[in-house]
Structure 1
Amino acid sequence: MRSPAMSSLPSPAPSAVRRRLILLTLCVSLFMAMLDNTVVNTALPTIERKLGAGISDLQWIVDGYSLALSALMLTASTVGDMFGRRRAFVAGLALFAVGSTVCALSRDVNVLISGRVLQGAGAAAFMPGTLSIIRQVYADERERSTAIGIWAGVSGLGLGLGPLVGGPLVDHFGWPSVFWINVPVGMAGLIAGMLLIPESKDRAGRGLDITGQLLAVAGIGAGVYATIEGPVRGWSDPAVTGLYIGAGVVLLLFVLVERRSRTPMLDLGFFRDRIFAGSVLAGLFLYLGMFSVLYFLSLWLQVVLGWSPTGAGLVIMPAMVVVACVTPLAGWLTGRIGGGWPMAAGLVCSAFALYGLTRYGTGASYRHFWWLLPVIGMGMGLTITPITATVLDRVPAARAGMASAVSNTARELGGVLGVAVLGSVLSSRMAERLRERLTAAGVPASERDRLVAATTGGTGRPQAGLGAGARLSHAVNGAFVDGLHLAELSGCAILLAGALLAVALVRGGRGPAPGSRGGKSGELDTSDAHDDTDGRATVAT
């Protein structure tokens, strides 16, 4: 026997006022999640002193969040699409608030890392749903494009404002305050979500792809774990290489399973669309090249130049002002010329900013490099909105959550890879240059090796408090800056490669992919009703 597989019936369109309140709720929650990618950066030196954290601990505090977020986002998006996007949004906010409370109360670095993982799991549950809910609530394409532009602007602002918000909080209220701030915001979003957001889900012809879910979590988790540990243990360490091999095998199995599944958690057909694939890659390259800069910039300002956490946070303000101004323009351009050229222009701007930062070192002053910060904001603003709008525009509405999760996962993976790989580049060059400086100073080989090992780490972070005086401090800072410049040049090359990909794959792409919508705005094409893997009307066994 066969029976119709029903998806949830559409609810009446919310009023204009309610739509704005829903968008506000979604954007505030998204801002909080993106903020937590970078807000902790300014607190790292304080956490190191207060909790006795080491190099590996500090990297896990940063990347434990990204690990959980990137590994669980695809799974969470599928669960939200099937069982209710509002339900997943509310549950994710609750888990995020719990994780924030664990972080704020922790007095042990391992507990703090566990709290960061809980935060990441909560963010994975609600972040993909924010775009899916926008897609459902805003039926008019022009209104939806504007809403997506606002969403993308808030995403960029949250990422960039992390140091600005975190600095004053750490200076005046201590490092736990960067986590306590999430609790009232999360609870307010939870209550607003329950009251305002209509429930929506698309279960037509779909089932839980348990095998695919487990393989995706295991493969992404193993790969990200190896990338985080690689700079600390060494890239040739058997555990690291074993994890990479295991991740490759598991992800290959994942692709094979998804190709055979009647109800896959990831529709691999998305990637046959060059415009969708190019947009996802552009996001990956943006975060791979730029995300780590926010991490390194904070360390450079505080450890090398001696700035306070507040000062290091305020330095990013010009970039954020430009992001807020440019994202609506980027959305307008995308609607008229497609997303390829704005993405490429943003990536080129970001590459130019990184190259410009290589001109400044241990004696830099804000008046020398301030002009590069608006360029960073221009690059982020021109790139994020076109990526988001293009990805959503190329898929059916019923697959908006899956497409959003794919795009967000790619960006999170880019951020993790950026910190780990470019951090390894920085660390290697720093160790090489420090060894040269110590040799020139006549330091004995045994002492030289000890100092190099004690002063550098997998993240390339220079360590203070070694008790070796101003001369060693000057050598360490100079070596750190040499490593930082090489990492910035490497990031510049990555961003330029991303710009070329955007031009080659996304240029000229406007509007939805063929067959992704029906005749009316926001409706799905039901001409392929027999296809039970694309979320349209179907008949299931």
Structure 2
Amino acid sequence: MTLATPPKNAVALAAVCLTSLMFGLEISSVPTVLSTLEDVLHADFKEIQWIMNAYTLACTTVLMGTGALADRFGRKRIYVASIVMFGITSLICGLAQSASVLIVSRFFQGMGGGAMLICQVAVLSHQFQEGRDRSKAFGAWGIIFGIGLGFGPIIGGMIVAIANWQWVFLVHAWISIVALGLVFAGVQESRDPHAQTLDVAGILTLSAACFGLVYFITQGPDLGLDSPAALSIVAATALSFIAFIVVEKRSRRPMFDFSVFRIRRFSGAIFGSMGMNFSYWPFMIYLPIYFQGALGYPNVKTGLSLLAYTLPTLIVPPFAERLALRFDARRVIPLGLFIIGLGFILMRCGAGVEHASWLTMLPGCLLCGTGLGMTNTPVTNTATGSVSSNRAGMASGIDMSARLISLAINIALMGYILFEGVLSYLARALPGSSETLSLRFLAQKVAAGNFAHLTQDSAKLATADPHGVIVHAALVHGFGLVMLYAVIGVWALALLSVVAFGLGAHAHRPDSALDECARHPST
């Protein structure tokens, strides 16, 4: 069998690829227009973070629920509903006139996008079950997803330059219509005959835990990390997470089946999912700030510079799938994570030179993108392929939850590290300042790359730093700390992935008795 026979499989693959293109564009095009949104919608640094985090948090809230709903009511049916929701909410995002409205609409757009993403993986897993065809299908999916990611930055920058920022969102309303036609024509309906109930308690407790942690990271410093309000958030977050574990352990049909973690290949792949989102993906939100703020590039040039970071994700996935078939994913996935870490080290060196430019950042960006391309599709294919096909919705839900929970947390953490790095540098460079609150306000502006009116807003800064040398150095210092954090995080998870996959010869055999027990815990 090939991808062309039966014909409906080719149409289904086209539908999946088109919706993955939308999802990829939505991730990579929005960061390049954040500075425009900051000016047009008068958004501050925290609101800019929430414009991205609302999307990722919303994805997380629906991931596991979507997997369960798709298993029970039909993957095609839920896929159609998710595309409709994504198209409508993209239209609302494009019509938003304030940061708060955009944040709320981005949340609902994220719900549609998260559900759509889960269904993509489940549809591929059902319609392409044989090894070689499955690898080709996931490879094609990875290529198109990479196109959305790779060209998203330049597309976003060009849209703002030619038209306006609204069309970064509005374009998805039109693409959704085409995608729906392809889904109706080619996607087969499938479901899990054993799925009975929706795990509402699990969805609510996991969502509350994720939201509480991200809220504490972003708002805790302003509240006071040891304040009663901040400590209450921490307590509520911890209780929600404990409740989630208890609920899932007691549920007869949990959305988060912990028994699958006894499958070594599944666990190793999940650490790979987390590794990418401790490093590559959250940094993509902030890298445009470096190009625009530290290097002074306009939107289009920023988009062109980001191509080095994203284009390898388009080129590498087919080779990564071949490597995984030849050498096994348990070797390819940790290697990809290790390469991402090397890329961050090179980027940190490139950003720290005296005359930094896109050229000094180029080697690190290329290496990061290459590592991501080596990791992304093998992770998804391995995670879903290590469980029985009728549990594909649950497996893809756990995979994407690991990705998006890690992404949401690390968007917040990287923003916190960037802000605190800028603040600490400014405090050293501007000694004797008693204007603590104004210094924090200044650090927020610098961390957002907004240098336009800094000297007008701060008389102290105008006197101490008339040429912007201090604020530029503060931003570079903050980014250096963020890159160091990314290296530590991705290499730690690469090591955990190696341990989870196992070093023995038995580690790659998916049909062991333990794996079968984990696949069918009820037997």
TM-score by length of 1: 0.88
Structure 1 residues 205-284: aligned runs within 5 Å: 206-230=196-220, 233-284=223-274
Q: C-alpha offsets along residues 309-359 of structure 1, whole Å, 9 cap, x if unaligned? A: 111111122344432222111111212222122112111111111111112
Change in CA separation of 1:420 and 1:329 when aligned onto 2, cut-off 3 Å: same
Structure 1 residues 484-495: aligned runs within 5 Å: 484-495=479-490
Contact 2:150 2:311 in 1 (8 A): no
Contact 1:23 1:134 in 2 (8 A): yes
* C-alpha deviation, 1:498, in angstroms: 1.6
- Separation in 1, partners of 2:131, 2:283: 35
Structure 2 residue 362 is matched with structure 1 residue 370: yes
Q: C-alpha offsets along residues 84-121 of structure 1, whole Å, 9 cap, x if unaligned? A: 11111110111111111111111121111111011101
Contact 1:289 1:495 in 2 (8 A): yes
* C-alpha deviation, 1:392, in angstroms: 1.1
1:414 alignment partner AA: S
Structure 2 residue 346 is matched with structure 1 residue 348: no
2:490 alignment partner AA: L
- Separation in 2, partners of 1:215, 1:358: 38
Q: Of 472, 479, 490, which aligns to 1:477? A: 472
Structure 2 residue 152 is matched with structure 1 residue 162: yes
Equivalent residue number for residue 170 of structure 2: 180
**Matched residue SS, 1:341:** helix
- Separation in 1, partners of 2:69, 2:514: 22
Change in CA separation of 1:187 and 1:516 when aligned onto 2, cut-off 3 Å: farther
- Separation in 2, partners of 1:191, 1:231: 48
- Separation in 2, partners of 1:487, 1:463: 18
1:490 alignment partner AA: Y
Contact 2:330 2:508 in 1 (8 A): no
Change in CA separation of 1:200 and 1:228 when aligned onto 2, cut-off 3 Å: farther
Contact 2:80 2:183 in 1 (8 A): yes
- Separation in 2, partners of 1:187, 1:511: 42
Equivalent residue number for residue 291 of structure 1: 281
Structure 2 residue 101 is matched with structure 1 residue 111: yes
Structure 1 residues 483-522: aligned runs within 5 Å: 483-507=478-502, 509-510=507-508, 512-514=510-512
- Separation in 1, partners of 2:445, 2:376: 29
2:448 alignment partner AA: R
* C-alpha deviation, 1:231, in angstroms: 5.3
Contact 2:264 2:502 in 1 (8 A): no
**Matched residue SS, 2:466:** helix
Equivalent residue number for residue 308 of structure 2: 318
* C-alpha deviation, 1:27, in angstroms: 1.5
Structure 2 residue 411 is matched with structure 1 residue 437: no
2:450 alignment partner AA: Q
**Matched residue SS, 2:30:** helix
Q: Of 46, 56, 62, which aligns to 2:52? A: 62
Q: Please, which runs of 5 or more residues in structure 1 have no aligned partner? A: 1-12, 518-524, 535-541
Contact 2:60 2:404 in 1 (8 A): yes
1:353 alignment partner AA: G
* C-alpha deviation, 1:515, in angstroms: 6.1
Change in CA separation of 1:516 and 1:176 when aligned onto 2, cut-off 3 Å: farther
**Matched residue SS, 2:165:** coil
Matched residue count:
508
Q: Of 406, 410, 420, which aligns to 1:414? A: 406
* C-alpha deviation, 1:366, in angstroms: 2.4
* C-alpha deviation, 1:234, in angstroms: 4.9
* C-alpha deviation, 1:306, in angstroms: 1.1
* C-alpha deviation, 1:233, in angstroms: 4.2
Q: C-alpha offsets along residues 114-165 of structure 1, whole Å, 9 cap, x if unaligned? A: 1101110101222111111111111322101221222234344434443222
* C-alpha deviation, 1:46, in angstroms: 1.1
Change in CA separation of 1:293 and 1:220 when aligned onto 2, cut-off 3 Å: closer
Cα root mean square deviation, aligned:
2.5
- Separation in 2, partners of 1:382, 1:158: 17
Q: Of 426, 434, 444, which aligns to 1:446? A: 434
- Separation in 2, partners of 1:37, 1:244: 29
- Separation in 2, partners of 1:510, 1:158: 32
Contact 1:263 1:532 in 2 (8 A): no
* C-alpha deviation, 1:34, in angstroms: 3.0
Change in CA separation of 1:460 and 1:367 when aligned onto 2, cut-off 3 Å: closer
Identical columns (%): 27
* C-alpha deviation, 1:50, in angstroms: 1.1
- Separation in 2, partners of 1:282, 1:160: 21
**Matched residue SS, 1:456:** helix
Q: Please, which runs of 5 or more residues in structure 2 have no aligned partner? A: none
* C-alpha deviation, 1:260, in angstroms: 2.0
- Separation in 2, partners of 1:367, 1:239: 46
Q: C-alpha offsets along residues 441-463 of structure 1, whole Å, 9 cap, x if unaligned? A: xxx6235x354222223993243
Higher helix share: 2
- Separation in 2, partners of 1:36, 1:533: 40
**Matched residue SS, 2:278:** helix
Structure 2 residue 78 is matched with structure 1 residue 93: no
- Separation in 2, partners of 1:253, 1:459: 40
**Matched residue SS, 2:468:** helix
* C-alpha deviation, 1:235, in angstroms: 3.9
Equivalent residue number for residue 457 of structure 1: 444
Contact 1:232 1:458 in 2 (8 A): no
- Separation in 1, partners of 2:329, 2:445: 36
TM-score by length of 2: 0.90
* C-alpha deviation, 1:393, in angstroms: 1.6
Structure 1 residues 42-53: aligned runs within 5 Å: 42-53=32-43
Equivalent residue number for residue 117 of structure 2: 127
- Separation in 1, partners of 2:326, 2:221: 44
Change in CA separation of 1:236 and 1:153 when aligned onto 2, cut-off 3 Å: farther
* C-alpha deviation, 1:496, in angstroms: 1.2
- Separation in 2, partners of 1:357, 1:220: 30
**Matched residue SS, 2:430:** helix
1:445 alignment partner AA: S
Q: C-alpha offsets along residues 376-422 of structure 1, whole Å, 9 cap, x if unaligned? A: 22111111122112101211101111111111111112212222112
- Separation in 2, partners of 1:153, 1:268: 31
Equivalent residue number for residue 35 of structure 1: 25
- Separation in 2, partners of 1:264, 1:139: 25
Contact 2:271 2:494 in 1 (8 A): no
Deviates more, 1:198-207 or 1:219-228: 219-228
- Separation in 2, partners of 1:516, 1:81: 24
- Separation in 2, partners of 1:154, 1:275: 25
Q: Of 6, 12, 16, which aligns to 1:22? A: 12
Contact 1:274 1:506 in 2 (8 A): yes
Equivalent residue number for residue 521 of structure 1: none
